[in-house]
Amino acid sequence: MEQLEIQVPYSFIHERTRLSWAEVQYGITERILRPQDVLEVAKDELDQEEDNQLILHLASSSRDEPVLERVTQLAAAEPRQDLRAIQRKWAFLVLAWVLEHRDRYSDPLDIAEKVYADLDYPDQVAPFIRYMPSDELDLGSKELNEQRLFQKWADYVKAEAAVHSRPSSP
């Protein structure tokens, strides 16, 4: 993402969703996912698909080995995913991370605005963007308006979590 330098730890992602290799590739190229986290993704995938040599090779790589080429090969072998769907999932993951850790950021709503712009203005994010029109805002104080925006943000995260939830293990 152009405007942000936020990396979401794979442990956080793993609790919420499963990533396709195209999503992993996007996460690495946009610097949202650390390349060394790909080893953990590969180890998770080995539980599902034990005979894929590329995944096995990734899972057994050292943390400083380049991984993007192998991830690109794995992504190419998957059914093609729509870029908007990939961006939607990453918007959810980044915004869930920032919301949960908002005390680390001086202006978390500004971060939401940057994610909104970087990911080509997804409709799902618009309700908690400060500069977007809303019937409920501007009726009270700045603090009340921000509380409403954070509530809308929390509602978004809850709704997107249901869309992107990790499949249950058999």
> Which residues in the chain land under pLDDT 70?
1-3, 49-50, 133-141, 167-170
Contact 40, 90 (CB under 8 A): no
Q: How far is the C-alpha of 16 from the C-alpha of 27, rounded, in Å?
A: 15
* DSSP 8-state secondary structure symbol assigned to residue 34: -
Task: List the domain boundaries for the chain.
Answer: 10-77, 83-164
pLDDT at 168: 58
- Read off φ and ψ for residue 148, nearest 5 degrees: -65, -40
> What pTM value is reported for the model?
0.87
pLDDT at 163: 93
Listed in sequence order, the DSSP H helices in 78-124 are 83-100, 108-118
| Dihedral, CA of residue 62, residue 67, residue 69 and residue 75, to nearest 10 | 120
In 3D space, the residue among 168, 16, 170, 9 whose CA is nearest the CA of residue 92 turns out to be 16
Contact 21, 70 (CB under 8 A): no
* DSSP 8-state secondary structure symbol assigned to residue 1: -
Contact 149, 109 (CB under 8 A): yes
How large is the greatest C-alpha to C-alpha distance in the chain, in angstroms? 59
Predicted confidence (pLDDT) per residue in 94-128, tens digit: 999 999 999 999 999 999 999 998 888 888 899 99
Which residues does 78 contact at the CB level (< 8 Å), separation at least 6? Answer: 20, 21, 22
Residue whose entry in the numeric block shows the structure tokens 């405007």:
3
Residue whose entry in the numeric block shows the structure tokens 């994010």:
125
Q: How far is the C-alpha of 70 from the C-alpha of 163, rounded, in Å?
A: 28
pLDDT at 50: 63
